Amino acid sequence: MLARGRFAGASLALLAQASLTSRAATALRFRTRMGAALSHSKTDYGGAAAAAAAMSAVNAYAEVIGLPDPNAACADVELIPFASDNYAYYLRCRSTGAAALVDPADPDAALRFLQDTGEAAPQAVLCTHKHGDHQGGNVPIRKFFEKEGGDVDVVSTSYEPIDGVTLAMKNGEQYTLGGLTVTALHTPCHTRGHVCFLVTDAARPDAAPVLFAGDTLFVGGCGRFFEGNAQEMYGNLGLEGVLATLPPETQVFCGHEYTASNLRFALSVDGANPNLQAKAAWVDGMRAEGRSTIPTTIGGERLWNPFMRADQPELKASVGLGESADPIEVMAAVRAAKDRF
């Protein structure tokens, strides 16, 4: 039974039977370990009190310009790059070895990763939203493991149709992955049903949570408003937003390597921001070496991401709005400027 044991490596014939291509996933992978800091039964993921608590701690992350500290982790995360800029992820519970693939839209890249590393076959696929470059692997991966005598849950949103889904979750609902708890956070805007997955471990309350942000939050940016509006994205990323009020140490794994272009835009609207300047310089160095800029942290993004700074006077001025402008209006103006950039 492969679904819960080590993935010993499938033959190319079996890969072909699963209707997969023959591209190998290579390079640009690293392990970062992280843990949980939230008690789901007591934590309010929004509201003024949560916003104030997040802002009181965010300055402690001014020095976290590079990759966040991987120590004291409750989970391992491996990057699985594919296409030109996409990331899928392999999530592993440190205490039990239970694992999941996150947004493995290129099934061959995901299966090659398992074959090359000998990692455990996944218990689940976690899918953030309906776009093909995020849900494209759901059915092929599930079918592949069924042929191998295993079973893979496909866990996703209940707010939009998802291929192959076996567990459709609403906001706040949870899935257990070994010792980890995976909580769905509904973040509509990029798509109506988009969810992010917040991963925590109640046995390690002092460790950092991890967030799989899909196409809602990027390093220095956010997803296009394909099916939503500025009010909804502000509800995700604004001062009292669902994601903005997570603990600042939360490690964020997003769906694309858009960082360099995002920060070039950010400098055009918030160029005097010293945290942004430092982050942009670091990113230039990383990308020049062909290295990933993922993960980031919620605390860091509060310092340099213009879509998480719509309440700041300097950002309002840069898009031609006064200090009294509603942050939602600022969010709309910044997104429009980014779309034109």
| Residues marked as catalytic | 129, 131, 133-134, 190, 215, 256
Task: Determine the distance from the C-alpha atom of residue 222 to the mean position of all C-alpha atoms in its chain, rounded to a whole number.
Answer: 11
Q: Which residue has the tokens 């079973």?
A: 151
Q: Where are the alpha helices (DSSP H) in 188-318?
A: 230-237, 259-270, 274-288, 298-304, 313-318
Task: Determine the distance from the C-alpha atom of residue 165 to the mean position of all C-alpha atoms in its chain, rounded to a whole number.
Answer: 19
What is the spatial distance between Cα 333 and Cα 123, in angstroms, rounded to a whole number?
42
61 phi-psi bin (left φ>0, alpha ψ -120 to 50, beta other): alpha
Of 302, 309, 216, 209, nearest to 255 (Cα)? 216
Q: Are 134 and 165 in contact (CB under 8 A)?
A: no
Strands 217-218 and 221-222: antiparallel
What is the spatial distance between Cα 221 and Cα 259, in angstroms, rounded to a whole number?
8
Helix (H) or strand (E) holding 168: strand 167-169
